[in-house]
Amino acid sequence: MAGAGTVAGAGSGPGAEVPAVQLDHVVRRFNDRPALDDISLTLGRGEIVGLIGRSGAGKSTLIRCLNGLDRPQAGRVVIDGTDISTLSEQALNPVRRRIGMIFQHFNLLSAKTVAENVALPLKIAGVARAARMKRVMELLDLVGLADKANAYPAQLSGGQKQRIGIARALAPEPLLLLSDEATSALDPETTQQILTLLKDVNRQLGLTILMITHEMEVVRQIAHRVLVLDAGRIVEEGPVAKVLASPQTDTTRSLLRGLSPVLPADLLAQIAPEGDQALIRVDVYGPDARRPLLAGVEAITGQPARLLHGGLNDVQGEPYGRLFLALGTADKDKLAAVVAKLKPETTAIEVLGYVPANV
Ligand code: ADP
């Protein structure tokens, strides 16, 4: 794929690995309003990255710039070392074939059988019939639907249709799989099965996956890393457990609603600027989440700390959590000492105010 679009020096040098995708300062405006406003990101090979954002954030525009259906006015879109932002339509085709896509509404051809749907990208790429059929059967096996080769999409459930969509996307052995709200039309159990399949495919094939979704739960279950898009900008990014433990922006907090514990209204109503006991919020993630935090607090205050709300959760084996602790004292010096002690051991800590002793 060398040529005019190849980025000089990308991945050169011993052991250097060319990222699957790299965006450098990408700008796409519509009528002078930026839909993508200086986006830079890198997707490493074999990574599963969640891209989350509300409607209108710029997710579809980003997808179109990634698969070459749209071109940015500024910046570079580099796929496997090739800058596609300047390629001709014809030069784009081989790069496009390296990008598989799955969609919310599956986009299967209803007049074609399952096998014909999966075979389509191979047919377009000029793969001979016998080789095509062999590959189709391997792919149907991979997605657990070998017995449906001759069925038509209308005879399949939503989950089965998406499995076929995945098989079709994998047919040309892509480098990158773009998943555009691929589980948004599925029930929770089917969503789970599709996410498990995608995780398996990621592990078995080392495929890079970009999961575009408005559902943080999907990201929690599958992604290694999350990017939060808002009004065309990436406003937050990091390991999923870290972002879940301690979201830094209002956009992320609102997307996380329901996944991150918030104080119940009755407790919230009792927080005042003065009171019997300080109330702190502690966000923890990773190995720090299981440290003996409470014993350290008690050693400073001389009082047992009480967990009023919150707890630990888990992202793919990595703990994260948010704890609301009443410290058993209102002493300002002790409070400052607790904050100083916990700060390096936690992701975030905030003094929320004071609550009555009997809260
Ligand atoms: P999302 O997929 O996150 O819902 P989009 O990428 O569809 O967001 O849209 C981002 C912004 O760009 C929106 O304000 C939208 O109105 C605008 N936009 C997207 N496509 C076009 C277009 N073809 N013409 C004009 N405005 C567009």
| Residue-number span of the structural domain to which 101 is assigned | 4-250
Last residue of a domain, one of 195, 218, 250: 250
**60 CB under 6 A from ligand 1?**
yes
**CA 73 / ligand 1 centre spacing (Å):** 15
Top mutation candidate among 28, 31, 60, 180 for ligand 1, by most atoms within 8 Å of CB: 60
Q: Are residues 199 and 133 in the same domain?
A: yes
Write the CB contacts of 30 (distance below 8 Å, at least 6 apart in sequence): none
Half-sphere exposure in the Cβ direction for 206 (13 Å, CA): 5
Q: Are residues 17 and 131 in the same domain?
A: yes
Top mutation candidate among 30, 51, 55 for ligand 1, by most atoms within 8 Å of CB: 30
Asked if pLDDT for residue 17 goes beyond 50, the answer is yes
The model's confidence at residue 330, banded by pLDDT at 50, 70 and 90, is: very high
Cα(167)–Cα(161) distance, rounded to whole angstroms? 10
Percent of the chain surpassing pLDDT 70: 96
SS3 at position 117: helix
Asked if pLDDT for residue 300 goes beyond 60, the answer is yes
Written as one letter, the residue type at 350 is E
Q: Are residues 320 and 244 in the same domain?
A: no
Tell me what the mean pLDDT of segment 255-277 comes to. Answer: 87
- Is residue 258 included in any domain, yes or no? no
DSSP state of 7: P
- Is residue 134 included in any domain, yes or no? yes
What CATH number is associated with residue 295? 3.30.70.260
Q: Looking at per-residue confidence, does 262 or 151 come out higher? A: 151
Q: Are residues 167 and 199 in the same domain?
A: yes
Residue 16's pLDDT is 62
Write the CB contacts of 164 (distance below 8 Å, at least 6 apart in sequence): 106, 108, 114, 117, 118, 143, 145, 148, 153, 156
pTM of the predicted model, to two decimals? 0.83
Q: Looking at per-residue confidence, does 53 or 12 come out higher? A: 53
> 279 has which bridge partners?
326, 353
- Give Cα separations from 255 to 24, 30, 59, 309 (angstroms): 26, 25, 14, 21
- The two tokens of residue 280 are 């702190």
Rg (CA), the chain: 25
Q: What is the DSSP string of 74-114?
A: EEEEEETTEEGGG--HHHHHHHHTTEEEEETT----TTS-H
Cα(324)–Cα(203) distance, rounded to whole angstroms? 37
CB 246 within 8 A of CB 323: no
**Relative to the CA of 55, which ligand 1 atom is closest?**
4
**CA 99 / ligand 1 centre spacing (Å):** 22
Q: Are residues 167 and 238 in the same domain?
A: yes
SS3 content of the chain, % helix, strand, coil (to 5): 35, 30, 35
Tell me what the mean pLDDT of segment 222-237 comes to. Answer: 96
Q: Are residues 118 and 155 in the same domain?
A: yes
SS3 at position 355: strand
The model's confidence at residue 244, banded by pLDDT at 50, 70 and 90, is: confident
* CA-nearest residue, atom 20 of ligand 1: 61
**251 CB under 6 A from ligand 1?**
no
Helix axes 114-124, 129-142, angle to 10 degrees: 130
**53 CB under 6 A from ligand 1?**
yes
Residue 32's pLDDT is 92
Residue 9's pLDDT is 41
- The two tokens of residue 210 are 């970009």
Number of domains in the chain: 2
Question: What is the length of the chain?
Answer: 359
Q: Are residues 212 and 81 in the same domain?
A: yes
**36 CB under 6 A from ligand 1?**
no
Q: Are residues 310 and 281 in the same domain?
A: yes
Q: Are residues 230 and 328 in the same domain?
A: no
CB 318 within 8 A of CB 285: yes
**32 CB under 6 A from ligand 1?**
no
Query: Residue 103's closest CA among 14, 250, 266, 213?
Result: 213
**CA 163 / ligand 1 centre spacing (Å):** 28
Residue 6's pLDDT is 47
pLDDT digits (tens, 9 = 90+) for 18-66: 999 999 999 999 999 999 999 999 999 999 999 999 999 999 999 999 9
Q: Are residues 40 and 187 in the same domain?
A: yes
Cα(38)–Cα(29) distance, rounded to whole angstroms? 10
For the four alpha carbons of 54, 195, 248 and 238, in that order, the dihedral sign comes to negative
Asked if pLDDT for residue 322 goes beyond 80, the answer is yes
pLDDT digits (tens, 9 = 90+) for 111-131: 999 999 999 999 999 999 999
Q: Are residues 51 and 163 in the same domain?
A: yes
- Is residue 256 included in any domain, yes or no? no
Asked if pLDDT for residue 10 goes beyond 80, the answer is no
pLDDT digits (tens, 9 = 90+) for 69-110: 999 999 999 999 999 988 998 999 989 999 999 999 999 999
* CA-nearest residue, atom 14 of ligand 1: 56
Top mutation candidate among 61, 181, 184 for ligand 1, by most atoms within 8 Å of CB: 61
Helices (H), the chain: 59-66, 89-96, 114-124, 129-142, 158-170, 188-205, 216-222, 240-245, 250-255, 265-268, 293-301, 332-342
Tell me what the mean pLDDT of segment 312-334 comes to. Answer: 89
What CATH number is associated with residue 200? 3.40.50.300
- Is residue 293 included in any domain, yes or no? yes
Cα(210)–Cα(351) distance, rounded to whole angstroms? 37
The model's confidence at residue 13, banded by pLDDT at 50, 70 and 90, is: very low
pLDDT digits (tens, 9 = 90+) for 190-225: 999 999 999 999 999 999 999 999 888 899 999 999
**Relative to the CA of 36, which ligand 1 atom is closest?**
10
